[in-house]
Structure 1
Amino acid sequence: MEILKIDGSHGESGGQILRSAVTLSSITGRPIQIENIRKNRKIPGLRAQHLSAVKLLAKLCNAKVEGLHIGSSTIAFHPNQLQDMSLQENVGTAGSISLILQVLIPAVALARRKLELSIIGGTDVLWSPTGDYTKHVLGEAFSRIGINFSMKIKKRGYYPKGGGIVDVLVHPSKKLNPIFLTKQNTKDAKVLCSHSGIYDVESFVDDVNNTLKKNGFSAQSQINEQPAQNQGASLVVFSQDSTSINGADELLDFKNKDIFGKKCQNSFLESNLGVDTNLSDMLVVPLSLINETSVFTVREISEHLQTNLYITSKITGCKYGVGKIDNGYEIRIQGNSDSSIQ
């Protein structure tokens, strides 16, 4: 099969193109070459978390990979058939476990395979979804599509030391379903806070609960103190009903500790359509492989969403449309199911 060349500097020029491209390559069996990886970033090329994601996926599908090293700007990925596997991995830094799972979970599940994974790295770090967001928000959305996984966060890993431990079990998908997430009807929200060594975290959670209640939500909260190699805290607010899944998360910034929770609560309250902005781009890869049309609404079109719509249409041939609606946008994706996942 002819190799497909992809410009990694397209759109936001980050790791999103790499993650989505290798995921789809492993599922469809199409070899790809990604050039100009993270070209416009302060530190271009592959970083540790990108390396771990590609390396793990390559193990799962016995892929031949060229250019797989820190700082590499070009890789070629030649996949073979995905296999059931049990793996252990240490990212070696506070690199995001959640971003690695964005690659592995859909690839394994959509290929009708099973994965048992124990991974060490960052569970709650900058520029990526927190572990709780991945478990509760992405997990709910994926389950409606037909992608099921369990995730146990045994130890938290905050920046800069990392060292978090997560056990993940990914199940083979049995039936893939389109989604229709277009309107938030619920006023029930959940607030989860996890921390290591933050003595006054309860006051921040109380402030978030009170703000949610003032805006008409009934809030259930839970605070978990968990071991970690250094101090840290994360907060996630989420809600779900039959036509919406919305969530927002935040990390404790020690330089601005007094406002911990404000960004998270405000982002959640603004996400009052079918899905939140961060979730929207995570849905595109699996939806691009479902023949039926999926529909969801979102407040804004992020660069990550634009990037994923571009890369999935290029690899799978799916069709998509973006329409303006009151207070946001409607996204329609007509997938193109690959024979390898039938």
Structure 2
Amino acid sequence: MLTIDGSAGEGGGQILRTSLALSLVTQTPVRITRVRAGRAKPGLARQHLTAVMAAARVGCAEVTGAALGSTEVTFRPGAIVPGVHQFSVGTAGSATLVLQTVLPALLSAEGGSQLLLEGGTHNPMAPPFDFLERAFLPLLGRMGPAVMATLERYGFYPAGQGRVRITVEPAPLGHLSLLERGEIQERRVVARVANLPAHIAAREAEAAAKVLGWEPRCFHEEVLTDVAGPGNVVTVEIASEHVTEVFSSIGERGVRAEVVGERVAREAQAYVEAEVPVGEHLADQLLLPMALGGGGAFRTVAPSSHTTTHAALLEQVLGVKTRFEQIGEKAWHVEVKGTSAG
């Protein structure tokens, strides 16, 4: 059994999720110790426990330590079961992080799958649905598999109750090279509010516009309906010739609307100025499918501790090395060999 230290690197939930995903794909039993030791409240929170149980169901696994607050989990995978699965976090915990845990296994399954995921769809510290749909899944499609995502209902903290439907058509993961962004073709900023005053969205859009300096037609405001509880998100989408990137900022109690709009605009502006195709969060998401498939290379901004921790875990479990090389003041080249690369 392979032992993985959950406190390594940034010490968060991604070590747990990636360890479970790799265990399923490689059929390797794992023991994950000191789960989320780098967080203020270590151990399994609700969304992490849901991820463990989802992985166990998809992979017919034997699990110990699957309880709230648990800091050690053992996971013995069995056969991967494609088909129809429904997973509910039961809180506003991220549904997209649960998907992150089971998707790699379903990409290698012998049949297609349909998933219904319930929980948070737009959470701090997690990939929001817009990023998943517009940035990550299209690139996964270039590598071979077809994964379609539909947002049926928004889910914000603390009410949750969002719903996402996923269709997975598996295929071998091929090589991906993403070295140039190409010309920017479209810019779009959307400030959305649910069960909150509409002026919040207007202030956020105005704050983002001051930072970005784009034409007025690029900025939009939306009032969401059929949402449980209040919520707010500002999304910046930059569609270029070779890639689409999505940046988000989630509104929080006690944080002024202007701050929410400014911070996502500054992240997007830094991406534009770096003149690379891949942003910080997309870089992190691409490592796993590249490592499991034909590898590849991309150019990005400075890698985060999340990304370097992820790379170290992939090397430990798969023996796949990720090479990071700074090629400019704000640009980095990242290369992943891949387990099926020639």
TM score, norm. by length of structure 2: 0.90
Match of 1:170 among 168, 171, 182: 168
Q: State the Cα distance separating 1:140 from its structure 2 match.
A: 2.1
SS in 1 for 2:131: helix
Aligned to 2:119: 121
Q: 1:313 to 1:245 in 2, by over 3 A?
A: farther
Q: Could you tell me whether the CA contact under 8 Å between 1:295 and 1:330 is conserved in 2?
A: yes
Aligned to 2:251: 252
Mapped to 2, the partners of 1:154 and 1:220 lie a distance apart of 24
Match of 2:285 among 276, 282, 285: 282
SS in 1 for 2:218: strand
Q: State the Cα distance separating 1:15 from its structure 2 match.
A: 0.5
Q: Could you tell me whether the CA contact under 8 Å between 1:62 and 1:80 is conserved in 2?
A: yes
Match of 1:156 among 150, 154, 172: 154
Q: Could you tell me whether the CA contact under 8 Å between 1:213 and 1:219 is conserved in 2?
A: no
Mapped to 1, the partners of 2:216 and 2:319 lie a distance apart of 41
Q: How does 1:58-73 map to 2 (within 5 A)?
A: 58-73=56-71
Tell me the amino acid that sits aligned with residue 316 of structure 1: L
**1:325 paired to 2:327:** yes
Unaligned runs of 5+ in 1: none
SS in 1 for 2:79: coil
Q: 1:7 to 1:286 in 2, by over 3 A?
A: same
Share of identical aligned residues, percent?
26
Q: How does 1:219-298 map to 2 (within 5 A)?
A: 219=218, 221=220, 223=222, 225-259=224-258, 260-272=260-272, 273-291=276-294, 293-298=295-300
Q: State the Cα distance separating 1:57 from its structure 2 match.
A: 1.5
Q: 1:172 to 1:193 in 2, by over 3 A?
A: farther
Q: State the Cα distance separating 1:247 from its structure 2 match.
A: 2.1
Q: How does 1:1-342 map to 2 (within 5 A)?
A: 3-173=1-171, 175-187=172-184, 188-198=186-196, 199-204=198-203, 206-207=205-206, 210-211=209-210, 214=213, 219=218, 221=220, 223=222, 225-259=224-258, 260-272=260-272, 273-291=276-294, 293-326=295-328, 327-337=330-340
SS in 2 for 1:278: helix
Unaligned runs of 5+ in 2: none
Tell me the amino acid that sits aligned with residue 169 of structure 2: H
Q: Could you tell me whether the CA contact under 8 Å between 2:208 and 2:262 is conserved in 1?
A: no
Q: State the Cα distance separating 1:283 from its structure 2 match.
A: 0.8
Q: Could you tell me whether the CA contact under 8 Å between 1:189 and 1:217 is conserved in 2?
A: no
TM score, norm. by length of structure 1: 0.90
Mapped to 2, the partners of 1:191 and 1:140 lie a distance apart of 20
Q: State the Cα distance separating 1:170 from its structure 2 match.
A: 1.8
* Coordinate RMSD, CA, aligned: 2.3
What whole-Å deviation, never above 9, does each CA across 1:49-84 have from its counterpart, x for those lacking one?
111111111111101111111111111111112122
